[in-house]
Each structure stands twice: as structure tokens, then as C-alpha cells.
Amino acid sequence: MSDSPASATPYEVLGVPPTVSHEELRRAYRRLLRETHPDTGGSATRFVAVQHAWERVGTPEDRAAYDRGHGARTMAPEGSAAHAAGASGSSSTAGEGFGSPSRGGSGRAASSTVRARSYGHPGGQERERYLTLLREWVGRGVTVTDPYDPALVRSAPREIRGWLAKAIAEESTAGLVGALGIGYTIWNNVLTGRTLGGVPETIDHVVLGPAGLFAIQSEDWGGEVRLRKDELVGDGLPSGVEPLHELAKGARALARSLGVTFTGLVVVVPDDALAEPVSVVGRGRLAGTVVVRRSLLPQLLRTGVGPADRTSIDRAFELRPRLQRGIRLA
């Protein structure tokens, strides 16, 4: 089971509230084992998920440890070695907690390594949305000492946890791009000029480098996703959401306003969320759009995918001033 804030908790998998007695928890587990067993027509994926959920809360000791937040991953400061390891899809073991954001608008790191230029605050809007919803859920007048306490995060509704997962995903991408060096520039939370439901639309990252210009969305829906024809599907995706189509529309609007052509459209997901290292839309209007494991994003940004627009690549550094003048950050 993924340790993402967006992942279903063991209680959600087993279909019981966190306050349920241990005997009721055991009965729910046994019932779901029978219902989901592949030999009786159940889903192998759900069967495995039920088993993993039980492994985390199946004994009073394990359950108490889980409820205290034991085992939650830590997000190290952006630009550190531990952060880079976490961004690749593995969990840091430096401590517990989901961590507060790190701000890196200048793109400068504490080390002597020259990092990519970075503008804007990756995950900033999502962190603010998470904090707002969390405080509303906790209730007026209740003091939240640590909004990133693992026990508190895990007890919150999945919709609220999803905003934190999204923020962490964006921060992880920005950290990976920053480590690529001075040849790259990243703009975070870029306004496309469109609105959706009255809210200004953004693209998580616009990245310029030797392999071209990329529009990137960083996602974490707390479970596996797969490419079906020209769109992503998965149990964790909200109903009606079409990530690839939404990215393409936003990128087209932004490209028109800037007078540029994007070399590639990319959706980045945690390593354990994608069965194949890279999935590429093969045909249709979204042909060439890429879904990639987070740890492979640096390689993709260095080499590109498929036949690239060589003119855009050759003019990468010439494009930077134009982009800097034209891009508007949320």
C-alpha cells in the first residue's frame, strides 16, 4: 500500500471507521477476504489491498502504531540528497511526518552545486488549500498545533489528503528539475490564461532545457494509474477528471499566448503508480503525450521522447528571455 497522503487508509480499504472495535475490524477483514478472493470471482487487486491493509492494523500493537502516524514518509528540504531520494519515488527514513513546504523561488541551493533557475512556489497553492480545508474539517475554535502530524493527516478525509499529496508531488518534481543544473529553467504554477469554473487554470511546471520546452503536471492520486487509449484511468482519479486532455488544453492556450511550441506534454506520477516506466499516447490529438515515473523524469528532460522539434531545442536559451517576460505565475 502506498504511503501517499492520497492513498486509501487501511480503514477505508476495509470499509470501517477508525473508531471501530478490533473484533469488528477483524470481521470486516474476513468478509472482504471472501468477497475479493479471485477463486470466488473477486478482484485480485482488491484482494491484495485488503491483505496489505490488515498487515498495517491487524494487531492492536500495529494499529496503535499506525494511528500514531508511525511509518509516514518525511519530505526533506528541497534540494537535499534526502529530498532527491524521496522525489524518485522512495520514502525517506529521516523521521516521521509529511513535512512543511520549502520555498525555493530563487532557485538557489545551500550547497555549492549550481542548480536550475526556478521561479514560483511549487505546491504552494495546494498547501494553502490543504490547510484551509483541514482547519474547516477540524472545526472552528480548535487549535491545530501541527497540520502535518501523520496521525492528523491520516484521520482527515481523502479529499483533503489529496491536496497535500498534490503539493508534495509538485515539490518533488521541482526538486528533481533543480538538480539538473544551470542548463534548465523551471516556472512553477504557471497561469494559462483560461479559467475553469471561475478559477484561473494553471500548469504545474513549465521546464526549458537542452531537449526542449515541456509542460508538466505532477500528480499523485494515491494508487495505480494506466493509459487507456488517450487518457489516464485509475481508481484514485476523481470522476470526470481527464488529466491528459486538461493538460493539452491548458498547454495550447499558454503556447498561443507566448508564441511558442511545446516539445512535450508530461504527466509525472509516483514510481509505484505506473506499471510501465513510461507510457506514451500513440495516436490522436494527444499523440506523444507522456506519462512517466517520477524517478525517470530527469532522463526524459535530458533526452526528450520521440522525434523532437529541433528548432525549439536549438533555440532553448534564446527562448528563456521571452518566456520570462510572458509567463505569469499564480
* Half-sphere CA count of 86, side-chain side, radius 13 A: 29
**CA neighbor of 181 nearest in space, from 323, 304, 302:** 302
In three-state secondary structure terms, 83 is: helix
Same domain flag for 93 and 52:
no
Same domain flag for 217 and 158:
yes
Rounded alpha-carbon distances, angstroms, from residue 135 to 72, 98, 127: 21, 17, 12
Same domain flag for 54 and 85:
no
**CA neighbor of 260 nearest in space, from 307, 213, 304:** 213
Same domain flag for 141 and 56:
no
* Half-sphere CA count of 253, side-chain side, radius 13 A: 18
Phi, psi of 76, rounded to the nearest 5 degrees = -75, 165
Same domain flag for 137 and 56:
no
Strand-by-strand arrangement of the 117-119 sheet: 117-119, 185-196, 199-209, 212-218, 264-269, 290-293, 278-280
Same domain flag for 104 and 54:
no
Domain count, the chain: 2
Residue 222 in domain: yes
Provide the terminal-to-terminal Cα distance of the chain, rounded to the nearest Å: 34
Matching residue, cell 507510457: 279
Same domain flag for 110 and 207:
yes
Residue 75 in domain: no
Residue 73 in domain: no
Which secondary structure element, helix H or strand E, spans residue 21, and what is its range?
none
Same domain flag for 192 and 312:
yes
Same domain flag for 135 and 20:
no
Cβ atoms 266, 308 nearer than 8 A: no
Same domain flag for 35 and 113:
no
Phi, psi of 325, rounded to the nearest 5 degrees = -75, -35
Residue 249 in domain: yes
Cell of 73: 514518509
| Nearest-angstrom CA–CA distance, 4 and 168 | 9
| Residue-range definition of the domain harbouring residue 186 | 81-326
Same domain flag for 124 and 222:
yes
Residue 55 in domain: yes
Cβ atoms 262, 248 nearer than 8 A: no
Residue 268 in domain: yes
Residue 322 in domain: yes
| Nearest-angstrom CA–CA distance, 123 and 101 | 8
| Nearest-angstrom CA–CA distance, 314 and 298 | 19
Cell of 241: 477528471
Per-residue pLDDT of the chain (330 residues; tens, 9 = 90+): 567 999 999 999 999 999 999 999 999 999 999 999 998 888 898 999 999 999 999 999 999 999 988 766 544 334 433 344 344 443 333 334 566 555 444 434 344 478 999 999 999 999 999 999 999 999 977 888 999 999 999 999 999 999 999 999 999 999 999 999 999 999 999 999 999 888 899 999 999 998 999 999 999 999 999 999 899 999 889 888 999 999 999 999 999 999 999 999 999 999 999 999 999 999 999 999 999 999 999 999 999 876 555 444 556 678 899 999 999 999
Same domain flag for 118 and 37:
no
- Identity of the amino acid at 252: R
CATH assignment at residue 15: 1.10.287.110
Residue 2 in domain: no
